[in-house]
Amino acid sequence: MKNIIVLFCLASASLSQAQILDEYPPKQDFYEGGMVNFYKDVHEYLVNNKKGV
């Protein structure tokens, strides 16, 4: 029982320090070149690697 309380306290302490963003900050993208470059690269990959289609 004591272990569960200690684990709960550690988990809640770590989550209280977390910073959760609903979107990326301005001028920062998850992919270099943004969404347009991401879709272009994915499309190029799919066209060049037609496996199983």
pTM of the model: 0.48
What distance in Å separates the CA atoms of residue 36 and residue 8, rounded to the nearest whole number?
A: 43
What distance in Å separates the CA atoms of residue 51 and residue 27, rounded to the nearest whole number?
A: 35
**Span 11-44, pLDDT tens digits:** 776 666 667 777 878 888 888 888 899 999 999 9
* Contact assessment for residue 31 and residue 37, using Cβ atoms and an 8 Å cutoff: yes
Instruction: Kindly state the helix (H) or strand (E) to which residue 3 belongs, with its residue range.
Output: helix 2-16
pLDDT category of residue 52 using cuts at 50, 70 and 90: low
48 vs 7 pLDDT, higher one: 48
Instruction: Kindly state the helix (H) or strand (E) to which residue 45 belongs, with its residue range.
Output: helix 34-48
The terminus-to-terminus CA distance of the chain in angstroms comes to 55
